Amino acid sequence: MRINTLSLFALVSLVPTLVVASLSGSVGRLTSVSTKAARKTCNVLDHGAKADKKTDLGPPLASAFAACKSGGLVHVPPGDYAMKTWVKLANGNAWALQIDGTIYRTGTEDGNMIMIEHTRDFELFSSTSSGAMQGLGYEFHKDDKWSGPRLLRLWDVSDFSVHDFILVDAPSYHFSIDTCTNGEVYNMAIRGGNRGGLDGLDVWSTNIWIHDIEVTNRDECVTVKSPSKNILIENIYCNWSGGCGMGSLGKDTDISDITYRNIYTWNSNNMMMVKSNGGSGSATNLLFENFIGHGNAYSLDIDSYWSSMSSLGGKGVELSNIVIRNWKGTEKNGAERGPINIICPDGAPCYNITIEDFAMWTEDSSRPRQGYSCRSAYGSGFCLKPGSDSHHAPYPETTSTVSSAPSGYSAPTMAADLKENFGITVSIPIPTIPTSFYPGATPHSALMAHGH
C-alpha cells in the first residue's frame, strides 16, 4: 500500500500532528504488483525449483531474479521448498517477490538466507498471507549454537513494501532493515525461540512505517537502532517477547523523530527499553504513546548504564524531547521492578521529558507497592526533576514508592496471548498472521488473503 504523510491524517486519529513529524515523505513500493506481473513473471518452477522439500531453492530463485530484476514479478508458488544456499538479490529495480510457499532452511552457513540490496521500488509479499520462511533454528539452539543465518535482510533499498509474510524460528535474527529509505512493513507474524539474540525486527533507516506486526521471541520485538530518522511504529503485538526498544546505543548515535504508538506487550522483558552504556551522540524527538502491558518484567526502562553492555566510555548518549503518554496495565512485580526507570548518563543528562496519563500497577498482591526511579533526568512527571533546557547538572538516582494503585490502570488483554513460550529445543509451528495487534485498533490494511 503506497502511503504519504497527507493520507496518514485519515488513517491515524491519535495526535495526527506528530505523524508528519515521524514520517518525512511517502513510503512503500512505487509500481503495483499487477503492473510488474504484466510486464514479466518469472516462476521459480521454470528455473529448476521443485516443491518437494528437498531440491535447493537458492539457485532457481537467483535465476528467476536475474530474469525479472529489471521490472517483473518473481513467484514462488504454494508448496514446501528446501533452501540450502543463500541468495543475494542485488541491483533490482521495480520488481516484486511473491512467496506463496514455505521455505525451509536446510543449509547451515552464516549470513542471510534472502538478502535484498541496492534496490528501488521493491515489494515482498504472500498473496495468500501464508507464505513463510521456516528457519528451524532449534536444530542449532538445542546444541547451544547461536551463530546461524538470519532469515531476511534489506540493505540499501528504497521505496519498498514487505507484507503478508511469516518468519519463524531464525537461527539468528529474523528481519533486519539496514540503511533503507521510504519503506512500509506490515501484516507480519514473527515467531522465534525463547532466548536472547533472536531479534524479531531491527531497523536502522530513514522514513519507515512499520505497523500491524506480531512478534514472539525473547529479545527485540521491534527495535530502532542508529542511525535512524523519521520512523513510525504502531499496532505492534509483542506476544511473549523481549519487548520493543532502542539500541543498544553507542558512539555517534544519530536518532530522531521516532514514534511508537499502540504497542501491546504481554509477558515480555519490557514494554519499552532504551539501552546504552557510555557512547556519544543523541536521540531526540521521541514519542512513546498508547502502551498496554501485562506480565512484563520492566515497563518503561531507560538505562544508560545497562549492565549487559560493556561501557564504551564517553559522556553518554544524550536523550531529549521525549513524550511518554497513555500507558496502562500491570507489571509482574512492581516492588522489585517499578514501571518507570529513567537512568540517564551523568555526562549527558536527559531533558525535556514529559510523562502524562501513565497508570500502571503491580500484579504481586503480596507486595502491593511499586517504585519510580530517575537519575540525571529532567522534565515533568513522577520522579523527573523540573527543567526544560539542556544545561543541567547530573544527580544521583532517586526513588519514590507508592502503595496504592493509580486510578485508570485497568487495561484489556488480547485473546491470542500465549500461555507459554516455544522453548529452543523443538520445532516452532508456523502461525497465521493475526487480524488484531492492539486492543480496539483496526489494522491499516486487510490481509491480502482477505481481499487486500
Q: Look at strands 132-134 and 175-191 and give their pairing.
A: unpaired
**Sequence-separated (6 or more) residues with CB below 8 Å from residue 360:** 293, 299, 327, 328, 329, 330, 331, 334, 339, 370, 406, 409
Q: Which of helix, strand or coil describes residue 392?
A: coil
State the Cα angle at 353 between 347 and 357, rounded to 5°.
Answer: 150
Pairing of strands 398-402, 370-375: antiparallel
Number of residues assigned to the chain: 452
The widest CA-to-CA distance across the chain, in whole angstroms, is 68
Residues 6+ apart with CB under 8 A from 192: 137, 168, 169, 170, 174, 198, 200, 215, 216, 217, 218, 219, 422, 428
The full set of domain ranges for the chain reads: 23-210
* Rounded Cα–Cα distance for residues 26 and 2 (Å): 7
Query: What are the pLDDT tens digits along the chain (452 aa)?
Result: 555 433 333 333 333 333 345 899 999 999 999 999 999 999 999 999 999 999 999 999 999 999 999 999 999 999 999 999 999 999 999 999 999 999 999 999 999 999 999 999 999 999 999 999 999 999 999 999 999 999 999 999 999 999 999 999 999 999 999 999 999 999 999 999 999 999 999 999 999 999 999 999 999 999 999 999 999 999 999 999 999 999 999 999 999 999 999 999 999 999 999 999 999 999 999 999 999 999 999 999 999 999 999 999 999 999 999 999 999 999 999 999 999 999 999 999 999 999 999 999 999 999 999 999 999 999 999 999 998 666 789 999 999 999 999 999 999 999 999 999 999 999 999 999 999 999 999 999 999 998 75
Residues 248 and 281: beta-carbon distance below 8 Å: no
- Catalytic annotation present for 47: no
What is the four-CA torsion angle of 43, 46, 52, 54, rounded to 10 degrees? Answer: -100
Residue 294 a catalytic site member: yes
Cis geometry, peptide bond prior to residue 248 (ω within 30 degrees of 0): yes
Q: Cβ atoms within 10 A of the Cβ of 39, count?
A: 15
DSSP state of 210: E
pLDDT computed for residue 14 by the predictor: 35
Beta strands at 220-224 and 201-216: parallel, antiparallel or unpaired: parallel
> 23-210 belongs to which CATH class?
mainly beta
Phi, psi (rounded to 5 degrees) for 192: -130, 180
DSSP, residue by residue, 42-104: EEGGGGT--SSSSSBSHHHHHHHHHHHTTT-EEEE-SSEEEE-S-EEEES-EEEEEEE-SEEE
DSSP code for 448: G
As a whole number of angstroms, the distance between CA 206 and CA 313 comes to 27
Handedness of CA 129, 23, 327, 277 (dihedral sign): positive
Integer CA distances (angstroms), 327 to 45, 78, 404, in order: 50, 42, 17
Catalytic residue among 219, 257, 301, 303: 219
Helices then strands, each counted (H, E), the chain: 5, 24
Residue 98 contacts residue 68 (beta carbons within 8 Å): no
Q: Measured between alpha carbons, how far apart are the two ends of the chain, in Å?
A: 9
- Catalytic one of 47, 75, 174, 294: 294
Give me the torsion for CA of 374, 377, 380, 382, rounded to 10°: 0
Do residues 350 and 321 lie in contact, with contact meaning Cβ atoms separated by under 8 Å? no
How far apart CA 141 and CA 15 sit, in angstroms, is 43
Which of 230, 320, 169 has its CA nearest to residue 25? 230
Q: Which residue has the cell 496518514?
A: 8
